[in-house]
């Protein structure tokens, strides 16, 4: 009988420990060590052809940095411009891409659509470990996808899977999902820390040595983060999250990590009966406003990845009936909401300490940049005074603690995007105001919060 060895792995950073302890020595997190058993005999006989992570043929040899070939690896399109945008311009041969999202978000649908169209021009294999081949075929038939060229495989053993892939030599492979894969020699159950880590490492090494595009489907935990060890995100080249509420037909694809492009890039899709359809002009779906002006509503221009996005922000300010007024922010940082309300009280003379303040970004968009500060305060002030702002008004700008309005990146592009959608008036930081007039738009540059309040 093979001798067994017990190890403890941190679910956050992937650090190994010889014995269990309350705190991980690698990342300092508490109660994150999980036990798994490894067979020493099987581990020693693992295939050495896939050793190393980079997959370079010149692995082990030392070369000068000046001698490295700078020829860019040619990308190829996924067939969807929004998907290509999030990936940084297309799929890179030899890259490992991890796509996560809540159940029902559309991960399998998006990848099945992509592979069905790519299979007409290149060999592609869809590996399913959770669903049967009949279930995947029924989905493809329901979506009306071309099914005559795509190759299917039902397999959860990574060693057997790589042997099949070496035989067929596909250019792109989808693994649905990484949580059900297992490696021979690791005696933990599929989905455990050890199996997810070893399976992802084995498949990533195979992809880089063969130049195959590897796309992994990953589950998420109840708090929305990717399930499995944190080292899983370190192994892959690109991490993407597909987000969307169950009651909404729109889905947002956001890049979290990308070694071949910009992060925080956003792609928007609409879930239809025929699958996911890309939305070329996302601002149009987030600006579906009422024809009548209402208090507490204003449109702001945020910057997502490499393009501006027009989003409506709504505020509701009401008398508090309890001793502790509520502060609720959906789509924004609640701590920043408290900070901005204090700045408006100190430098704008508007006291909302005894008011409940509710902030919502329409469309489920999550705003992480500070360019939404000024729009948030003006929307709250509009609701507090019960005075609607004009429909053609656009607002953006960062508010400092001393009451100054700071400029934001790409201010000129934001103003031009608003003008394309028919907005006629803009309140922006003075440093972002264009030197030449924008046709059809009045641009008001402000450098103090008090001045912005007086302008509305």
Q: pLDDT tens digit string along 364-388?
A: 788 989 999 999 999 999 999 999 9
Torsion on CA atoms 203, 204, 205, 209, rounded to nearest 10? 100
pLDDT band at residue 60 under the 50/70/90 scheme = low
Count CB neighbours of 142 within 10 A: 12
Q: Which of 163-167, 223-227, 248-252, 399-403 has the lowest mean pLDDT?
A: 223-227
- Angle at which helix 107-118 crosses helix 133-143, to 10 degrees, equals 80
Phi and psi angles of residue 359, each rounded to the nearest 5 degrees, phi first: -125, 135
Instruction: Give dist(CA 146, CA 273) in Å, integer.
Output: 16
Please compute the mean of the pLDDT values over residues 399-412 and round it to a whole number: 94
pLDDT at residue 85 tops 50: yes
Tens digits of residue pLDDT in 221-251: 766 677 666 778 888 999 999 987 666 788 8
Nearest to 116 by CA among 174, 178, 169, 181: 174
Tens digits of residue pLDDT in 93-122: 999 999 998 888 899 999 999 999 999 999
Please compute the mean of the pLDDT values over residues 392-421 and round it to a whole number: 94
Please compute the mean of the pLDDT values over residues 16-27 and round it to a whole number: 84
Please compute the mean of the pLDDT values over residues 401-416 and round it to a whole number: 94
Instruction: Give dist(CA 37, CA 19) in Å, integer.
Output: 12
pLDDT of residue 248: 72
Beta-strand ranges (E) seen in 259-412 are: 266-272, 275-278, 297-304, 307-319, 327-330, 355-361, 393-395, 398-399, 405-406
pLDDT band at residue 62 under the 50/70/90 scheme = confident
Torsion on CA atoms 18, 181, 174, 56, rounded to nearest 10? 40
pLDDT band at residue 139 under the 50/70/90 scheme = very high
pLDDT at residue 75 tops 70: yes
End-to-end CA distance of the chain: 80
**321-325 LR contacts (CB < 8 Å, sep 24+):** 325/352, 325/353, 325/354, 325/355, 325/356, 325/357
Q: Which of 63-72, 294-303, 311-320, 432-441 has the lowest mean pLDDT?
A: 63-72
pLDDT of residue 246: 60
Please compute the mean of the pLDDT values over residues 389-414 and round it to a whole number: 94
pLDDT at residue 334 tops 50: yes
Please compute the mean of the pLDDT values over residues 179-189 and round it to a whole number: 85
More confident residue, 275 or 231: 275
pTM for the predicted model, two decimal places: 0.76
pLDDT of residue 41: 41
> 406, 371 in Cβ contact below 8 A?
no
Please compute the mean of the pLDDT values over residues 141-165 and round it to a whole number: 94
pLDDT of residue 44: 42
pLDDT of residue 431: 94
Tokens of 354: 């005894």
């Amino acid at each position: 009988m093979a001798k067994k060895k017990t190890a403890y792995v941190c679910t956050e950073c992937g650090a190994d420990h010889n014995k269990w302890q309350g705190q991980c020595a690698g990342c300092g997190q508490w109660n994150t060590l999980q036990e798994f058993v490894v067979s020493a005999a099987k581990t020693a006989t693992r295939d050495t052809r896939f050793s190393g992570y980079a997959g370079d043929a010149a692995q082990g040899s030392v070369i000068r940095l000046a001698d490295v070939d700078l020829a860019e690896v040619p990308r190829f399109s996924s067939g969807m411009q929004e998907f290509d945008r999030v990936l940084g311009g297309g799929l890179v041969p030899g890259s490992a891409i991890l796509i996560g999202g809540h159940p029902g978000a559309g991960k399998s649908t998006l990848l099945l659509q992509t592979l069905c169209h790519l299979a007409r021009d290149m060999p592609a294999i869809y590996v399913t470990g959770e669903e049967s081949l009949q279930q995947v075929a029924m989905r493809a038939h329901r979506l009306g996808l071309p099914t005559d060229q795509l190759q299917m495989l039902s397999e959860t053993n990574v060693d057997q899977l790589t042997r099949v892939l070496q035989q067929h030599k596909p250019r792109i492979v989808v693994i649905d999902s990484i949580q059900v894969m297992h490696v021979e020699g690791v005696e933990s159950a599929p989905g455990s820390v050890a199996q997810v880590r070893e399976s992802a490492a084995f498949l990533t090494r195979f992809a880089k040595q063969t130049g195959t595009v590897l796309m992994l489907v990953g589950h998420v935990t109840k708090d929305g983060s990717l399930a499995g060890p944190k080292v899983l995100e370190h192994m892959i080249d690109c991490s993407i999250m597909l987000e969307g509420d169950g009651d909404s037909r729109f889905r947002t694809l956001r890049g979290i990590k990308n070694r071949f492009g910009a992060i925080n890039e956003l792609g928007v899709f609409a879930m239809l009966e025929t699958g996911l359809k890309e939305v070329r002009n996302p601002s149009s779906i987030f600006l579906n406003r009422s024809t009548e002006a209402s208090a507490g509503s204003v449109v702001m221009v945020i910057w997502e990845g490499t393009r501006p996005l027009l989003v409506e922000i709504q505020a509701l300010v009401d008398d508090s009936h309890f001793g502790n007024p509520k502060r609720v922010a959906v789509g924004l940082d609640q701590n920043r909401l408290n900070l901005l309300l204090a700045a408006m009280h100190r430098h704008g003379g508007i006291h909302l300490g005894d008011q409940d303040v509710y902030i919502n970004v329409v469309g489920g968009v999550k705003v992480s940049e500070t360019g939404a500060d000024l729009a948030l305060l003006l929307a709250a002030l509009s609701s507090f005074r019960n005075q609607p702002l004009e429909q053609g008004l656009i607002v953006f700008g960062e508010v400092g603690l001393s009451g100054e309005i700071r400029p934001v990146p790409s201010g000129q592009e934001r103003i031009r995007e608003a003008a394309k959608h028919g907005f006629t008036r803009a309140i922006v930081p003075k440093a972002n105001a264009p030197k030449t007039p924008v046709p059809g738009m009045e641009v008001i540059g402000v450098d103090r919060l008090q001045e912005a309040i007086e302008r509305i």
